[in-house]
């Protein structure tokens, strides 16, 4: 699980390096924001957050414990991968809007 977090940090550092080379801080917002939003969206899909209660209950009834653990594992991986990128975008937007 921590490998996903470390990969997210590595991608964030690559994005920061790219933004430094091109001297454009909004590359962090564009690239990391897209990566963070996509990762959080995929995590929401795997968690079942975007389906109704009836569908979630039906899915829960027919899936095995193995499937449920696998789905939860991928949900957590995507969330941890997108978290550093998402937090970095919030920080960059906060400091560029209020400075």
Distance CA 46, CA 37 (A): 14
Q: What is the pLDDT of residue 48?
A: 87
The predicted pLDDT at position 99 comes to 62
Tokens standing for residue 41: 């969206």
Question: What pLDDT does residue 56 have?
Answer: 85
Task: Give the count of beta carbons closer than 10 Å to the beta carbon of residue 50.
Answer: 11
For residue 98, is pLDDT > 80?
no
Give the N- to C-terminal CA distance of the chain in Å, as an integer: 36
pLDDT digits (tens, 9 = 90+) for 19-54: 999 999 989 999 999 999 999 999 999 998 888 888
**For position 55, what pLDDT does the model report?**
87
- As a whole number, mean pLDDT of residues 71-82 equals 96
Over 90: is that where the pLDDT of 58 sits?
no
What is the percentage of the chain residues whose pLDDT exceeds 90?
Answer: 76
Contacts of 18 (CB under 8 A, 6+ apart): 27, 31
More confident call, 59 vs 81: 81
């Amino acid at each position: 699980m921590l490998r996903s977090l470390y990969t997210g940090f590595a991608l964030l550092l690559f994005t920061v390096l790219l933004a430094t080379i091109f001297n454009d801080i909004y590359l962090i917002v564009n690239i990391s924001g897209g990566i963070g939003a996509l990762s959080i969206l995929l995590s929401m899909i795997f968690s079942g957050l975007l389906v109704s209660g009836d569908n979630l209950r039906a899915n829960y009834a027919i899936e095995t414990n193995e499937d449920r653990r696998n789905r939860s594992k991928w949900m957590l991986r995507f969330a941890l991968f997108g978290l550093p990128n998402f937090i970095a975008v919030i920080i960059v937007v906060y400091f560029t809007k209020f400075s």
